[in-house]
Amino acid sequence: MLSVKGIGFLVIFIIVHLCSKYLTILHRKTLSKFLSMASGVSVSYIFIHLLPKLNKYEEITEPKFGFIENTTYYFAMIGLVSFSGLERVVRRESNWSSRLRGKGIFWIHLISFSVYNSLIGYILVRGDNQRFIDLVLYIIAIAIHFISVNHGLSDLHNRLYDKFGRWILTFSIAIGWATGAFFHINAEIIGVLFGFLSGSILLNVIKEELPVDRESNYWAFASGIVLYSFLLFLMNK
């Protein structure tokens, strides 16, 4: 899928990664409302678009892995548990010295999210978003999700993320996209990868975008859900 639109969508992801740090120029309340609305979009994307698509991939994957029913859902669970375990390690070890935390935990976090981004880049090319509008919906939801994730990583790792992390994550999504553009993996494996990615996205939305102790705006959150759900409704009629 070496097309102008494919490259254009990749450029959008790259811009989001490189420019998310500049959201800090927004007023605190404005930023809070924006991130809350982003949370709503992500939640809508998961329940209205991602989970139903997971079921479609199951129809492709199950004949290949007939000895395991609900294969893609197992891998979604594995993705969720894997990132949950990683976050527990990061939060527990954050009590280490700042020097060790800055070097060790940062790179653990970065490697895991590099894999995460590579899968998103690959699915951009090799997923079943055949219609242009499906790609647009995918781009909107994932780009907004990236903004929230980048904001969380920047808060946790500060200068390390701004100096190194955002560039490495940008590179990783480009690597995933290039792999999808030049190498073909069969549909069953894509179904497994999509399952793992779905669980990872679900965990990251819960972790990064829904905590009640974070300063947030419920009405902005609800607006994000309503607006994106309505957009999905219109586009899928």
Per-residue pLDDT reduced to its tens digit, 159-195:
888 888 889 999 999 998 888 888 877 878 888 888 8
Q: What is the pLDDT of residue 197?
A: 85
In the predicted structure, residue 69 carries a pLDDT above the cut 50 = yes
Query: What's the maximum distance between 2 C-alpha atoms anywhere in the chain?
Result: 55
The per-residue DSSP string of 199-224 comes to: HHHHHHHHHHH--TTS---HHHHHHH
DSSP state of 236: T
**Per residue in 75-118, pLDDT tens?**
899 988 988 887 777 666 655 545 445 567 778 778 888 888 88
When pLDDT is cut at 50, 70 and 90, the band that residue 226 belongs to is very high
Q: What is the pLDDT of residue 172?
A: 92
Mean pLDDT of the residues in the chain: 78
Q: Could you tell me if residue 112 is inside a domain?
A: yes
Q: What domain range is 122 assigned to?
A: 4-12+28-235
Q: Specify the number of domains making up the chain.
A: 1
